[in-house]
Amino acid sequence: MTAFILRRSLQSIIVLFVMSVIVFVGVNLVGDPVDMLINPEADQMEIDRVIRELGLDRPVSEQYWYFLVNAFQGDLGRSFVFGEPALKLIVQRMPATMELALFSLLLAIVFGIPLGVYAGLKPNSKISRTIMAGSILGFSMPTFWVGIILIMFFSVHLGWLPSTGRGEVATVFGITSSIFTLDGLSHLFLPAFNLALFKLSSVIRLARAGTREVILQDYIKFARAKGLAESRIIQVHLLKNIMIPIVTVIGLEFGSLIAFSTVTETVFAWPGMGKLIIDAIYNLDRPIVVAYLMIIVLIFVTLNLIVDILYSVLDPRVRIKGVE
Amino acid sequence: MAQSSAAAAAVDLPASGWRKFWSDFSESPTAVVALLVFLTILFIAVFAPLIAPTDPYDLATVDIMNSRLAPGSEDFSGTVFWLGTDGAGRDMLSAIFYGLRVSLGVGALSGLVALVIGAAVGLSAAYFGGRFETLTMRIVDIQLSFPSILMALIILAVFGKGVEKTIIALVLVQWAYYARAARASALVEKNKEYVEAAQCLALGHRRIILHHIMPNCLAPLIVVGTLQTAHAISLEATLSFLGLGLPITEPSLGLLIGNGFEFMYSGDYWISIFPGIALLITIVSINLVGDQLRDIFNPRLQR
């Protein structure tokens, strides 16, 4: 067990290291930030001064070494555009992204499970067919386009919900979030629904498949034979059993919500770290790009490591296969 | 049993095999309709310059005076813009025809390259085994644990935008799916008698892999290929919309949607909506065809 965790951790560190080399070397080959950042009216002295200040005059290998040393001290460089530490900027915007991702997850679960269970209980009814057709659409529609449609319908046409920004935020129990104010919630709803749509479709499909399987089991028949109310059978016997695969998939794919939030944040001008990275790519703000990619890779590697370890605890076969 | 399912799954079908394939495929009317829709889209994409009402990128015919006309409006010379015009006065219908060309082209090309690379890696991993297999499959596992949008974002953030860079990004995102599918079916095939027979004849490794194992692994690869191409088209549109994918000189559907985004707040819905609908129809039709192919080729559902 310990050997397994050690091997997986070592592998995670290798992945991180390889990513840092690819990202750093690659980003340094793109464009010339000097042209982007320095006033074209500036004289040569001024240009040289800024280049020295940003460390752009040193060889890439040396820049990388300093980057690595500083990264271990939590210093991922200063943004060329904002003039602030890259890490600080990203950490500042992380709560907005997390709030969006978590709220989307909540929407996907709250709407997805009942719809999926219904479609599984009455597979041939018209409503179920509509639900399933909707889930196919949800899979196929590109997220950004759905976002545009949502803005067009709910913001421009009906004027019900705002389409940009995060709205008013409030702090409760030390957590600053827009879910604590009505204005914030109204800002949050559209982007969260947009981000949730893909996940919603997969939760519906999982819940439906699970329901169709579980409903044929003997313990459901037995519960019915005992004369339990249908609602109790669904709530206790059915839901408990279909939740396992759903929770697994949701946990595994939480990371993909964070990744896809780059798209939703751009459409809805949501001030999270996804919008920050897209803007940084436009502006060739290299420290931000490098820092964001390193942080998101770190998040993913950690999530995967935790899932791997949990699996090996739950299922010894994974562990044995890993040793071979 | 194993032999017969292998023969049925083989893609190198004799004439009667094609007939059986078609009768299996046409069992689902939805899939047939989807196939027809897809073929129509393919036709439009290939012959866009011939059937589009106007050439949206010919500066001599595009008139800025026609900008942002609503669907169905006419200009002074009597040309009708069925789907309206965009901010530069281009006919949206023609722009969509040309956009389909770019979107499908990029999707198909990247899918094909990824298929070749993935199949080569997957088949050799299964055939040779050992350290090579462990290493490549570890890389595949690690890559598949990252969402595709993130992989593409990393690649494009690192190398910048452009046609060939977008295709490279899409290939790097997709090859792992093909490698995994190719390895899974090659592992089954490799232990069958005909491979053993070929090995007894002392045929070269390359010949055994290409002429004996690969033809029997094509079916699952085709299924993965259809679904992945739809995914690639959607991903390309997303990246182009974000301004990280294709350059403005290659206006795919994603770029058209992105162009319309700024006009949407003033109520000019058609510039974003119609290219999006074209994109959606393309993706859904490919997915439905892919689903049906999967059902046909699935040995467990074999009748």
Which amino acid is residue B82, in one-letter code?
W
Per-residue pLDDT, A236:
78
B81 in helix, strand or coil?
Answer: strand
Verify whether the Cβ–Cβ distance A27 to B158 is below 8 Å: yes
CB contact B130 to A (< 8 Å): no
Tell me the C-alpha distance between A276 and A285, whole Å: 10
HSE of B192 in the Cβ direction (CA atoms, 13 Å)?
A: 18
Cβ-Cβ contacts under 8 Å, A266 against chain B: 242
Query: CA distances (Å), A120 to each of A57, A103, A124, A134, A213, in order?
Result: 64, 25, 9, 15, 9
Residue type, B127: Y
Residue B157 is nearest to which of A11, A267, A293, comparing CB atoms?
A: A293
Which SS3 state, helix, strand or coil, does residue A171 take? strand
Distance from CA of A61 to the nearest CA of B (A): 16
The nearest CA of chain A is from the CA of B46 a distance in Å of: 23
Min Cα distance B74 → chain A (Å) is 25
Listed residue (B258, B262, B268, B264) closest to B237, CA to CA: B258
Among A140, A259, A297, select the one facing B284 at the smallest CB separation. A140
Task: Please indicate if any CB of chain A lies within 8 Å of the CB of B72.
Answer: no
Region for residue B79 given its phi and psi (left: phi exceeds 0; alpha: psi -120 to 50; beta: otherwise): beta
Are residues B159 and A282, on separate chains, in Cβ contact within 8 Å? no
The token pair that represents B40 in the structure block: 């129509």
Average pLDDT over residues A298-304: 83
Mean pLDDT of chain A: 80
CB-based contact B258:B244 (threshold 8 Å)? no
Under 8 Å between Cβ of A238 and A220: yes
A233-259 residue pLDDT tens: 888 788 877 877 777 777 777 888 888
For A259-270, write each residue's pLDDT tens digit: 888 899 988 888
Q: Do B159 and A262 touch (CB under 8 A)?
A: no
Confidence of residue B3 (pLDDT cuts 50, 70, 90): very low
User: Quick check: A180 and A169 in contact, CB under 8 A?
Assistant: yes
The residue written with tokens 């530069």 in the block is B88
Q: What does the buried/exposed string (b/e) look like for A66-84 if buried means 16 or more CB atoms within 10 Å of the residue's CB? A: ebeeebeeebbbbbbbbee
How does DSSP assign A196-243, residue by residue?
Answer: HHHHHHHHHHHHHHHHHHHTTSHHHHHHHHTT--HHHIIIIIIHHHHH
Quick one: pLDDT at residue A315?
A: 63
**pLDDT tens digits, one per residue of A35-79:** 655 666 667 777 787 777 767 777 777 777 877 887 778 777 777
pLDDT of B67 reads 67
Q: What is the mean pLDDT of residues B122-131?
A: 88
A149/B153 Cβ within 8 A: no
**Distance of CA A298 to CAs A18, A64, A198, B100, Å?**
12, 18, 24, 37
CB contacts, 8 Å: B264 with chain A = 148, 151-152, 156
Tell me how many helices (H) and strands (E) chain A has. Answer: 14, 2
Question: Cβ A281–B276 below 8 Å, yes or no?
Answer: no
CA-closest candidate to residue A287, choices A46, A35, A55: A55
CA gap A259, A281 in Å, rounded? 15
**Percent helix, strand and coil across chain B, each rounded to 5?**
75, 0, 25
Given an 8 Å threshold on Cβ–Cβ distance, is A289 in contact with B280? no
A142 to B284: CB separation less than 8 angstroms, yes or no: no
Give the mutation candidate from B33, B148, B156, B158 for the A interface (greatest A CB count, under 10 A): B158
Mean pLDDT throughout B39-66?
Answer: 77
What are the structure tokens assigned to B131, written together?
């350290």
